[in-house]
Amino acid sequence: MMLTKKKGIQILLKSMKYKQIDPSWEKIFKKEQKKDYFFNLSHFLKEERKKKNIFPQEDKTFAAFSGLPLKKVKVVILGQDPYHTPEMACGLAFCVDEQKHKKLPPSLKNIYKEIKSDTQDEPRPLNELKKEGVLFLNTVLSVEEGKAFSHRNRGWERFTDSILRALWEGEKKIVFLLWGKAAKRKGEELFIGEKGHLVLIAGHPSPLSARYFFGCKHFTKANAFLKKERDEHINWTKR
């Protein structure tokens, strides 16, 4: 049976537990789901999940938007796509469920090293920081097992671009942390005009480019900006 546009979108949203997102994001979601690319994306994912291992689990696809209202976002950390090894992807860029995984991905280890060096204190588990107002957003929200960036150019970029534009156009001042060339390019494409946000750029925290990440001091710089503009901060550490 041919998948109709309406049915395809219903399948995507139902399988991803769309209702788990905070209601403040719904306007963006509903606008995007009416577009052809979203239908094509839904059909692609439906077929891929039939025959391949796709990460994260369907109910974690939109985890970044669960429990974090749009207006509460203080910091955006922009990643590429989910971890492509089994059970690692949790729907939050760079994060893993640390209660399940004691062996952390190299990029996450390097993020912790920089937080400790920057703040002179022990870092908190990264996935706890969503409660503090950190949006861990990948530009692509799904991936095939063992194939990094395999879901590139399937439609996710248009969706996450809409999220980034909404944040950029919003009234609240936000810190955008762009790590790596891909994130930098995304910022150059979308962050147009003087909006008063803080955009910080550094190398990607992966071992291949971490020498351009270490010493960036993005965490204390972010807090200095947030304290000035919003009288708020992110508690990056256990203290």
Active-site annotation holder among 36, 59, 81, 161 = 81
In the numeric block, which tokens belong to residue 215? 């010493």
Is 231 an active-site residue? no
Is the bond leading into 105 cis (omega within 30 degrees of zero)?
A: no
Supply the angle between the helices 36-51 and 156-169 in degrees, to the nearest 10. 130
Active site residues: 81
